[in-house]
Amino acid sequence: DIQMTQSPSSLSASVGDKVTIACRASQTITTYLNWYQQKPGKAPKLLIFAASSLQSGVPSRFSGSGYGTDFTLTISSLQPEDFATYYCQQSYHTLVSFGGGTKVEIK
């Protein structure tokens, strides 16, 4: 099975800050990496698929990068509606796996 490790598990930031979240796979997944945002009481929302492709309707302040085992989600200028928990997920293997999540809180 492929293990996904996210860091940090939580962070505090202010509106307007640039935020970076890392995700590492235990083996290569090329670009089969997706990012989700989840708010309380809601299903996760797809932000980025295939490591760097922005899902339709998602603001351009969100971006993804990486290849192989190391990936990054960047929010270029944090907005009030971006305070949420973020998860990475690999779709390389038929046995799906998620990172542990990163909670972005207001400083």
Partner 1 sequence: QLQLQESGPGLVKPSETLSLACTVSGGSIRSSSQYWGWIRQPPGKGLEWIGSVYYSGVTYYNASLESRVTISLDTSKNEFFLKLNSVTAAETAVYYCATWGMTMGIVWGQGTLVIVSS
Query: Which stretches of the chain bind partner 1, using CB under 8 A?
Result: 1, 32, 34, 36, 43-44, 46, 49-50, 55, 87, 89, 91-92, 94-101
Q: How far is the CB of 15 from partner 1 (least distance, A)?
A: 25
Quick one: tokens of 40? 């309380």
CB of 60 or CB of 94, closer to partner 1: 94
CB of 1 or CB of 81, closer to partner 1: 1
Per-residue exposure over 26-65, b if at least 16 CB sit within 10 Å of its own CB, e if not: eeebebbbbbbbeeeeeebeebbbebbeeeeebeeebbbe
Q: How far is the CB of 78 from partner 1 (least distance, A)?
A: 22
